[in-house]
Amino acid sequence: MIQIDDVVISLDVFREKFLCNLDACKGECCIEGDAGAPVELDEVEKLEEVLPVIWEELSPEARAVIDKQGVVYTDEEGDLVTSIVNHKDCVFTCYDEKGYCYCAIEKAFRAGKTDFYKPISCHLYPIRIGDYGPYKAVNYHRWNVCKAAVLLGQKENLPVYKFLKEPLVRKFGEEWYKELEIAAEELQRRGMM
């Protein structure tokens, strides 16, 4: 483990390789799972604000779920998560003509229709953030639906922390990320990665 400020980072974030391979998985991480994606409390309002922009992109089933229970719910573990359709798809998923799953929020962001990218937990995947008292834990999450991303990351020799530079900066800031890079260099120098 490495600690930067009040954030404790698993060595797997430095050692493991990862590069999303949408051609292989077709966005399965937005579909599979036992609950929606974790959402921070301050993101709920942003999700509600973006709804009119993305409403027509959402499936009729997703719109019905949102009308009934809203954009988020509390899962069995007590965490706030995005609402899901039929215990599967995130309500914010949309599909292209090839059957690839995309985030309707991210699609709207890339088109300049909103300044909200998507929930930070989605942007950070395969990293998961845990709260432990005054500390945050940054852990690499292994999931079989991402096997192709691990293989591509290994082929390209791309560590998780480099693949996720943009969302890590979004979450913790540029200075924090610079400290993370210094820690990675030190781990490399010591032969620990």
At residue 25, does pLDDT exceed 80? no
CA distance 31 to 177: 30
What is the pLDDT, as a whole number, of residue 192? Answer: 84
Helix (H) or strand (E) holding 148: helix 147-156
What is the pLDDT, as a whole number, of residue 24? Answer: 79
Which of 121, 90, 107, 118 minimizes the C-alpha distance to 54? 107
Confidence of residue 31 (pLDDT cuts 50, 70, 90): confident
Q: What mean pLDDT do residues 10-36 have?
A: 84
What are the angstrom distances between the C-alpha of 25 and each of 29, 142, 159?
Answer: 8, 15, 19
Helix (H) or strand (E) holding 1: none
Q: What mean pLDDT do residues 32-43 have?
A: 87
DSSP string, 59-113: -HHHHHHHHHH-SEEE-TTS-EEE-EETTTEETTEEE-TT--EEEHHHHHHHTTS
Q: Is 127 in contact with 138 (CB distance < 8 Å)?
A: yes
Q: Is 80 in contact with 39 (CB distance < 8 Å)?
A: yes
What is the pLDDT, as a whole number, of residue 176? Answer: 98
Q: What mean pLDDT do residues 121-133 have?
A: 93
Which letter does DSSP use for residue 115 in this model? S
Choose the weakest-confidence range: 5-9, 85-89, 168-172, 181-185.
Answer: 85-89
DSSP string, 7-75: EEE-THHHH-B----HHHHTTGGGT-SSS--B--HHHHHHHHHHHHHHGGGS-HHHHHHHHHH-SEEE-
Q: What mean pLDDT do residues 92-103 have?
A: 90
Q: Is 94 in contact with 104 (CB distance < 8 Å)?
A: yes
